[in-house]
Amino acid sequence: MMRKSVMQLKMKEPRAKRLARARSWLQAALCAGVMISLTGVGSRAWASDADGAEFFQQSLDRESEGKLKDAITALEQLPPARRDVYVAVVRRAWLMYRLGQFESSVDAYRKAVALAPRSLEARVGMLLPQAALRRWTDSEATAREALAIEPNNYTANLRLAFAYYNLGRFAQAATLYRKLRDLYPSDHDVRSGLGWSLLKLGRSQEAAQEFKDLLAINPSHVLAKQGLTATGLGR
């Protein structure tokens, strides 16, 4: 009986409640000043538009189920005046990235930036497909734009260091990774990036220490194991 009661608690959320949650999310985006329409139609109309909120919620639901193409299709069902609103464009960009449509994702993120020039979210999001396309110069520029908006943003700083590394600017990468390590000493990506940057600079002992410190945190970290072996200073 107890098991049945628990299952009953997991019943699907009522449609009205899901729509209210979607409208609330859209209204919050409006209050943050990020929703701008290409057509000039204000997002306040969307926040009170049941159909628009429902399709947006359907997109969220389909993504949570792993149905990414259906999540994009749901966005395409939005009323025409709503499809080019910032929050729909940036969501489409994210879904395209998840589908491996990296060029289209970058284009959509650029469109989102044009809609909301001070958007941090769109720029940080764009760093993902740019990295997938190995466009490191573009990635550096995008990260710098994001940091001009929020200088201490973790993701933008991490991606900037990663761009430096892939552009062969290992000293700049090491400097930035070290700053991030001091802020996030247990971060695997930061310690791995610092270790490899130091290794590329010929500073094997420092690199080995970073890899050892990372392996103390995560003994199975593959890149740390490979890096430590490459230093020739393994255990």
Q: What's the pLDDT score for residue 54?
A: 81
In tens, the pLDDT along 87-99 reads 889 999 999 999 9
Determine, yes or no, domain membership for 197.
Answer: no
The packing angle between helices 222-231 and 204-217, to 10°, is 150
CATH code, domain with 39:
1.25.40.10
Confidence at residue 100, expressed as pLDDT on a 0 to 100 scale: 97
Report field, pTM of the whole predicted structure over 0.85? no
Residues (pLDDT < 50) of the chain are 1-13, 27-48
For the packed helices 68-76 and 86-98, what is the interaxial angle rounded to 10 degrees? Answer: 160
* Nearest one of 139, 38, 152 to 84, comparing CA atoms: 38
pLDDT at 22: 52
Whether residue 155 is contained in a domain is answered as no
Q: Is residue 21 part of a domain?
A: yes
Tokens 């909120």 belong to which residue? 53
Instruction: Name the burial class of residue 156, with classes exposed (0-12), middle (13-18) and buried (19+) by CB atoms within 10 angstroms of its CB.
Output: buried
Residue 209 is assigned to a structural domain of this protein: no
Number of domains in the chain: 1
Q: What is the model's pLDDT at position 117?
A: 94
Give the pLDDT score at 77.
Answer: 87
Closest CA relative to residue 188, chosen from 224, 153, 155: 224
Tell the residue number behind the tokens 């010929």, with chain if given.
Answer: 202
